[in-house]
Each structure stands twice: as structure tokens, then as C-alpha cells.
Amino acid sequence: MTGETRVLLVVAGGIAAYKALELIRRLREQSIRVRCILTRSGAEFVTPLSLSALTEDKVYGELFSLTDEAEMGHIQLSRDADLMVVAPATADLIAKMATGQADDLASTALLATDKEVLIAPAMNVRMWDHPATRANIATLQERGVKLVGPYEGDMACGEFGFGRMAEPHEIVAAILTTLGRQSRAAGGAGPLGAPLAGRSALVTSGPTHEAIDPVRYIANRSSGKQGHAIARALSGLGARTTLVTGPTQLPDPTGMEVIHIESAQQMLAACETALPADIAVCAAAVADWRVASQSDRKIKKTGSDGAGAGIPKLELTPNPDILASLSQRGNDRPGLVVGFAAETEDVIRQATEKRARKACDWIVANDVSPQSGTFGGAENTVHVIDAQGVDSWARMDKSDVAQRLAERIADYFAGGLETAAPTAI
């Protein structure tokens, strides 16, 4: 393994262990050598033979191996690597890392390493939310351990929530960022290479909060799940990504710059600062209006004499149109501007008209009526509208929508798609 970038991958127990096979394959495509430690519980889900076939190397599992330990193998393993990665990182192994336990090869190597460590947690949502796990994660982060995920989604146990392990392409992006590397040359072989390497992407996500007074604000029901997933997918395909996000309950994706804002005006300013960019995806649900005059004190229901103060009259004024602003810029207009249209009726017609009005290249239309479950939900049904027409996709998980959209964007820059931005009307 001399002279190459090397990753020591710890595969712990959990159904997500199967993703380690895809992770190894993608790392090899980045010319990264992988050596594996497979825990005893991890071997219940994947075999040493499958890991060995993909890594083209021996798989290690026993702490007290007569052949390996003659040369203090658990220390040498950790020192030979440029980075240690734990995927999946179970609650049990995370607890061992936090408390310094070393009762098997994986935990011993993690304790003995002098290299950076990146973990991809995977566990039941209740285990992830447990105060003990949260405290262990905080301890590891204080020590410099990096995290990728976990994300929200369906789990093998039948529950839904945070605890789902990051996808292999997301872990690869985090590994490359940690190593200080770019993906392999732009124009790599399809989405499994790094087709967006050398490109820059700007993504907006979440709602905006438009203050009425120090206590109240105007907002919408956007969770930010779709926008965050798109940012992760673009980063996973090699794009240098900036995520501008309104207030959400989601963890920041790793491997990219994340800018937190509250209002539409702040979001526009952050987007303009992030330019130039090759790609702009405006997935945020920006509030259309704000109050014309924000109160610097809480508006009271009662007057100073205790009598009713009456219902306040709020004068609204339009917020800046971020999608139109990016689409209609001059020399620093992004090469591809993708907007979102959240509609409750006549979705395709209204989205088509919005594309022409805003002068963006593509519009991703989705039905956000109450019965659709789109706002706050895990799934989405979208229609991608461009100059050639409408491409309707079947209902799928938002992370799958994000990946498919990112791959469509990659195809566009590879010359596989044609588009033409309409003139604003």
C-alpha cells in the first residue's frame, strides 16, 4: 500500500454494513486503497471474503492473531492508514470510542491511531436520540472525530427517523474532504466517478423566517429535507458545494460550506456572496412577503391600561425573488439555474409558467397539497420541466430524488442534455 492514499475501514455490526461493499468500490474508483477491520458482529452481515475480494487485501478481525500481533499488528494497522473510517458506526462502538475501551481489534486500533477518524453512524432512531449516545457523539466531536450523517429515513426495524447511515457517495465526499482531496478529474466515468469534480454548486434549502416582532414570524412548512439531500448529492458527485439554509431541524451536511440564514433578504445576500457558481439549485421555500415595518418590541394583545389593544394591522411587502435574481444576472449567472415550484393545484401548468417568468433553466415541480405529504415527509413526486418538455418521475424517497437530479445535472454538463433558458416575461 506504499505511496498511495490509504483508508482503514472498520465495518461494525448492523444491517447498514452491506453499504460498506459499495463504499469500497467507490473509494477504489478514486484510487484510494482500502484495508478492512471486520468486527465479530459485522461478520454477521457481510463476509470477510466479499470485503477481501473488493479491497484485494486481507481482512482483519482478531485482536490476538499470532501472526499479526507478533508485529503489534493492531498498532501498525492504524498507523499505516492516512485516515480511519468507521462505517457503519454502531452505538456500541461509538460508546467504546468515547470511553476509551479497547476489547477487540476495531476499538484497539481506534484507540491506538494517530490519524484522523471519520465515522458514519447507523442505528435505530431511539438509540440515536438516547442521551448516552448524544453525549458520546459530543465527546468524540470535541476530540476532533468527524461525522457524516446519520440522516432521516426508513429503517430496517420498521421505524422512521434519524439514524439511517449516509449513502456511500456521501461518505466518499466526506472522506475526500477530510483528506483534502478533490475527486478524480472532471468528466469521470458516469455518476460513480466524479462527473461534477471541478464544478461549484449553490443550493438553497429550508424555509425563511420573516420577523414580525422579536417573538413572532411569518414562515412556511418546509423541512429542508429535499434541499439538504440535493446538496449532499451534488457534493457526492464531486461538486464544491455551498448550502444556504433557513432554520431547520436537520444536521449540517458534511463536506461543504453551510451558511445559516433566517430571512429572504439574508438568503439573497448569502447567495450573491457565494457566486460565481456553475450550478444553482433553489430548493428553499422562501416566504413571498415580510412585514413592511418590523417591531423591535413584542406586539401586545392589551394596552398599557389593561384594555384590549385591538387586532394589529400588518402591512406586507414583497420579499426579493431569489430564483429570478440568480436567473437574470449578467456575467456571473450560474451556468445552470434550477428552481422549485411548490404547488397545490394544476402543478405542471403553473410550474411551466413559473419557469418562463423567472427565466431559469429547469423547474422541479412538486405537489405540496396536504394530502401529498411532501412538506415534512420523506418522499416526493416531482416533474422536471425544461425547454424540451416535462420529465415526470415516480414517487420516491427525497434522497433518491436528489441523487437522480444530481445525475441529471451531471449529464447536462457532460453534454448529454440540451436546455435553453427562456426570456423572462
**Binding site residue list for CTP:** 288, 298, 320-323, 340, 354, 358
CB 172 within 8 A of CB 80: no
In angstroms, the CA 365 to CA 214 distance is 34
DSSP 209-235: -EESSSS-EE-----SHHHHHHHHHHH
Within 254-381, strands assigned E span 257-260, 279-282, 289-291, 316-318, 336-343, 362-367, 379-380
Instruction: Return the amino acid letter for 294.
Output: Q
Query: What are the binding residues?
Result: 288, 298, 320-323, 340, 354, 358
Q: How many CA atoms lie within 13 A of 329 on its CB side?
A: 20
Q: Is 271 a catalytic residue?
A: no
CB 326 within 8 A of CB 337: yes
Residue 17 is classified by DSSP as G
In angstroms, the CA 89 to CA 228 distance is 22
Give kind and range of the element (H or E) at residue 62: none
Q: How many residues does the chain have?
A: 425
Catalytic pick among 36, 157, 282, 360? 157
CB 200 within 8 A of CB 284: no
Residue 81 is classified by DSSP as -
Cα Rg of the chain (Å, integer): 24
Q: Which residues belong to the active site?
A: 157
